[in-house]
């Protein structure tokens, strides 16, 4: 699934595997493996998206966290800085 999309991005830009590998700082075999679904590491996907000028796609996958208005009121407008243990009554 991801591999097919990565390959489609490369072909849309009319780039060879070698050209993308050079631009992304990867080995051409890594690019080919990612395109054929060999479970690429996240850093590889990010480098490829950056090479295709499609890093904005990562924002859709991992959007910025939203703070609920009630939580913001409880914290008096200050964002949360650390996690805490659950309190049992």
What secondary structure letter does DSSP report for 79? P
For residue 35, what pLDDT is reported? 96
Q: What is the pTM of this model?
A: 0.69
Architecture of domain 2-61: Orthogonal Bundle (1.10)
- The tens digit of pLDDT for each residue in 42-63 reads 999 999 999 999 988 777 777 7
- Residue pair 51/24 in contact by the 8 Å Cβ criterion: yes
Q: Is the pLDDT of residue 89 over 70?
A: no
Domain boundaries, the chain: 2-61
What is the share, in percent, of the chain residues with pLDDT greater than 70?
A: 97
SS3 80: coil
């Amino acid at each position: 699934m991801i591999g097919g999309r990565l390959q489609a991005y490369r072909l849309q830009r009319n780039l060879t595997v070698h050209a993308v590998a050079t631009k992304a700082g990867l080995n051409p075999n890594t690019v080919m493996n990612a395109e054929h679904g060999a479970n690429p590491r996240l850093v590889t996907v990010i480098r490829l998206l950056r090479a295709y000028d499609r890093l904005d796609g990562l924002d859709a996958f991992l959007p910025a966290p939203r703070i609920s208005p009630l939580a913001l009121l409880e914290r008096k407008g200050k964002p949360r800085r650390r996690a805490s243990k659950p309190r049992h009554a």
